Chains A and B, each alone.
Chain A
Amino acid sequence: MNGAPTAQRGAPPLRVQVKELARRSILRTIRQPAIIVPATIFPLILLAINSAGLDSATTLPGFPTDSYLTFALAFAFLQAGVFAVIGTGQNLAEDQVSGFWNRMQLTPIRPAALVAGQLAGTLALGLFQAATYITVGLIAGGHIQAGIPGALVLIALATLITLAFGSIGLIAGMRANTPENVQGLFPVVFVFLFMSSMAMPRNLIETDWFRTIATYNPVSYMIEGIRSLLIFGWDTEALALGFGCATVILVGALTVASLSIKGRMVRT
């Protein structure tokens, strides 16, 4: 006896399931300004402070641009990723605490629809943040060396990164007992961000052990992928590494999250 086909007989197609859950996730995100505002504004505040505070770094021999604002703009996109971890994980944990998942277990919904649905709000927020950072960055005097096509590729890479981090948030949300536990991840995720080439190009990091960590940290390559479009134009290697790292994290995290969600939906 295979219960799954019986349970899914008469269920709406996957497309419809995803659409309904995605709609719920996007509306939920829009209705939580307490999540949208800090996740969008905080990276901009740090960008404003860092670009003024570290402007003298551009005088160092070998620094790739004379605008620290353009250099630091890439970091804002990665910070949005950190908020994606916390936001997605917290929403999922809230769903577990509120009993939403128990109700879902009674329906013939497929785990893939749940995963895609949960990430829809993250995707929408990621797109909004990417557009905001590009607009604010350009108004403040930054530039995109790769032009308008580069801006589109930048949005694509930033969105992929947000989805990759959001998928890590799914894992965190599945394992957390409460939304507060997901918040505890914030400093841990921030470490990955700070121990990278976020503030200085890797070749200018003087401290050996820090440069080694930054070299092994995939965050460095995602930042450098975005930064390449802003500063150098079209750098195929940097873009391939940026897209590659984000894709590997996305696929890996989605696989783990899907298995967790599948397990959660089977248990009754």
Chain B
Amino acid sequence: MIARYFSVAGGIARRLLDTFVHSPALFVPPLLMPLFFFVAFAGGLSAIDAAPGFDYPAGYTAFEFGFVLLQASAFGGVFTGFSIAADFQFGFGRRLLLATPHRTALILGYGIVSLVRAAITVAVVTAVGLVAGMEVLGDGTDIVALYGLALIVNIAGTLFAAGVALRFRSLQATPLMMVPTFLFLFLAPVYVPRELLGGWVHTVSAFDPATAIMETIRDLLAGQPADFLLALGVAVGLAAALAVFAIRGLRSAEAAG
């Protein structure tokens, strides 16, 4: 039974990954987006590291990498949500529901796709960062830890997008996946450390779960003492809450028939 469960998940993942291989137009734009953000922010805003109070030791490229790593991970999940919505809008999702005894395998299958997508994007962004001279001051354990956090954010992003897609079952719901994720990321300290944020964003960023994760990733990258357990707790808690959201979305899709 377990073998069958994973076979279903694997089948769904293979199908979608095959689609990407044959239709690069579906895969390339989501890959390029974090790259553009990285290049534009690290290149265009590098003078920010001369602002009074900006004291991140690894430099501005590494500082922005912390944001782009989270963006690539979260949006890897969101773009997979688009595929779920398309499958259900055009009827394929209903056939999947009929053919699958344990339907959470569907979410696992899409999650594998999301992971592959994010892994490729993160690899490209990391390579570009290193070529551009990004300083990595953390050791091997720090690097494993920061990519681990990114992995959990990818899972959380997938579960959120799956929950929305399974409830609405239409591509018209894509803004409902993108806008909250966008706000989740941009209400954290994207351009400068939290101490330098002005106005209302300074207040709001303290309550944004992305802040703790982004700050920890940056600390790990710079080899600084990091509040890893807090970030891990926030990321796992987010993923757990969104798992409930996704499963309830799945029940909603089942009820709709």
The interface of chain A, by Cβ under 8 A from chain B, is: 38, 45-46, 48-57, 59-60, 184, 186-187, 190-191, 194-195, 197-200, 204-207, 209-210, 214
Interchain CB contact (< 8 A) of A199 among B45, B175, B201: B45
Whether B44 and A199, one on each chain, are in contact in the complex, defined by CB atoms closer than 8 angstroms, is: yes
Q: Name the residue of chain B whose CB is nearest to the CB of A140.
A: B199
Not counting A49-B187, A55-B197, a sample of 11 additional A-B residue pairs whose C-beta atoms are within 8 angstroms of each other reads: A51-B199, A56-B196, A56-B198, A57-B47, A57-B48, A60-B51, A184-B29, A191-B36, A195-B40, A200-B45, A206-B47
The SS class assigned to the A binding surface is helix
| A52-B46 contact, Cβ under 8 Å, with A59-B52, A191-B36, A195-B40 | no
Q: How many whole Å from A66's CB to the nearest CB in chain B?
A: 12
* Chain A residues positioned under 8 Å from B39 (CB to CB): 194-195, 210
Q: How far is the CA of A51 from the CA of B190 in the complex (A)?
A: 12
Provide 18 A-B residue pairs closer than 8 Å at the C-beta atoms, listed in order of the A residue: A38-B175, A48-B201, A49-B187, A51-B199, A52-B197, A53-B191, A54-B48, A54-B191, A57-B45, A60-B51, A184-B25, A186-B29, A187-B29, A187-B33, A194-B40, A195-B39, A199-B44, A206-B46
The interface of chain B, by Cβ under 8 A from chain A, is: 25, 29, 32-33, 36-37, 39-48, 50-54, 175, 183, 186-187, 189-192, 196-202
Q: Name the residue of chain A whose CB is nearest to the CB of B199.
A: A52
Q: Name the residue of chain B whose CB is nearest to the CB of A213.
A: B43
* Chain B residues positioned under 8 Å from A194 (CB to CB): 36-37, 39-40, 44
* Chain A residues positioned under 8 Å from B52 (CB to CB): 56, 59
Q: How many whole Å from A42's CB to the nearest CB in chain B?
A: 8
* Chain B residues positioned under 8 Å from A52 (CB to CB): 197-202
| A205-B186 contact, Cβ under 8 Å, with A56-B192, A184-B25, A194-B37 | no
* Chain B residues positioned under 8 Å from A57 (CB to CB): 45, 47-48, 51
* Chain B residues positioned under 8 Å from A200 (CB to CB): 44-45, 47
Q: How many whole Å from B187's CB to the nearest CB in chain A?
A: 7
* Chain B residues positioned under 8 Å from A51 (CB to CB): 199
Q: How far is the CA of A214 from the CA of B197 in the complex (A)?
A: 26
Q: How far is the CA of A238 from the CA of B106 in the complex (A)?
A: 56
Whether A187 and B32, one on each chain, are in contact in the complex, defined by CB atoms closer than 8 angstroms, is: yes
Whether A60 and B47, one on each chain, are in contact in the complex, defined by CB atoms closer than 8 angstroms, is: yes
* Chain B residues positioned under 8 Å from A50 (CB to CB): 191
Whether B197 and A210, one on each chain, are in contact in the complex, defined by CB atoms closer than 8 angstroms, is: no
Q: Name the residue of chain B whose CB is nearest to the CB of A37.
A: B175
* Chain A residues positioned under 8 Å from B36 (CB to CB): 187, 190-191, 194
* Chain A residues positioned under 8 Å from B186 (CB to CB): 46, 49, 53
Q: How far is the CA of A55 from the CA of B25 in the complex (A)?
A: 37
